[in-house]
Copies of this chain bind each other. A is one copy, B any other.
Amino acid sequence: MLTALTYARMLTVSTSWHNEPVTRHGYHHGDLANALTTAATELARQGGPEAVVLRAAARQVGVSATAAYRHFADHNALVLVVKHRAQDELVEAMRAELARLPAADDPGTAGLARLRALGAGYLRFALTEPGLFRAAFCKLDEPPAEVRGLIDGAPAYQLLGEVLDDLVDAGVVPPARRPLAEVAAWAPVHGLAHLILDGPLAALGPDERAAALSRTVDTIIAGLSRP
């Protein structure tokens, strides 16, 4: 979709014009696919997946709506790339929380800290970027073949799996509790995010939210690590 050539062309053009505002570089945009994706992602960031409107994205980039069809088969294809970007940002938020962790000696406590960090990063992303969070898990009109039959959002799932493996290695989680532990750990945090975002627990204040997360993660850990 976005070749190295396209990038090169864009750079050439943008450096040859002086003080040109970023919006357009002439009749040929040079990087429309990327620009539309960014604009559409921004729409999703503010209004969720329903706000991803092809015409609005084109408008924002300063291009006719028709131009989008040179780069995306249809509206659904545009939403799909936004969904992927949103998933990428979610994983990024989780990794960021991991990176913030201080070094720990004991592998067991280190592993538990990582598990907590993943949950905290997940929830933080959901609450600070509700639009993107919903976009990351939105239902597409026709899901692409690559995704069907696989676990979507695989990077996050894999990240979680690694931390759980570490906890088994450290002797914190008994091997018998390892199967499907990803699901058992993921679902609670995902559910909490949805309950806070979309309804029943929306009325919780910041402190109550923190307490709810803490309680939820404590329960997961107590359950997974029980002999």
A positions within 8 Å CB-CB of B: 50, 137-139, 148-153, 157, 177, 179-181, 183-195, 198-203, 211-212, 215-216, 218-224, 226
Contact = CB atoms under 8 A, between A and B. Distances in A.
Contacts of A151: 200-201, 203
Contact of A223 (B148, B186, B198, B219): B219
Contacts of A215: 179-181, 183-184
Between A179, A200, A218, A222, the greatest number of chain B beta carbons within 10 A of the residue's beta carbon is seen for: A200
A201 B156 CA distance: 13
A223 B179 CA distance: 16
Given A139-B199, A200-B151, A215-B183, A192 B194 contact: no
Contact of A219 (B193, B200, B218, B220): B220
Interface SS of A by simple majority: helix
B201 A183 contact: yes
Contacts of A187: 187-189, 191-192, 195, 212, 216
B149 A194 contact: no
A177 B148 CA distance: 40
A68 B212 CA distance: 41
Contacts of A203: 148-152
* Chain A to chain B: the 4 pairs with minimum beta-carbon distance, closest first: A191-B191, A223-B223, A187-B191, A219-B223
A199 B148 contact: no
Given A184-B218, A190-B195, 18 more contacts: A137-B199, A137-B200, A139-B199, A183-B195, A183-B201, A184-B216, A185-B219, A187-B188, A187-B191, A187-B216, A188-B216, A189-B191, A191-B192, A191-B194, A218-B223, A222-B226, A223-B223, A223-B226
A207 to B, nearest CB: 12
B137 A184 contact: no
A130 to B, nearest CB: 10
A195 to B, nearest CB: 6
Nearest to A185: B219
29 contacts: A138-B198, A138-B199, A150-B203, A151-B200, A152-B199, A152-B203, A180-B212, A180-B215, A181-B215, A183-B192, A183-B195, A183-B201, A184-B218, A184-B219, A188-B188, A188-B216, A188-B220, A190-B195, A191-B191, A191-B192, A191-B193, A191-B194, A219-B220, A219-B223, A219-B224, A222-B222, A222-B223, A222-B224, A222-B226
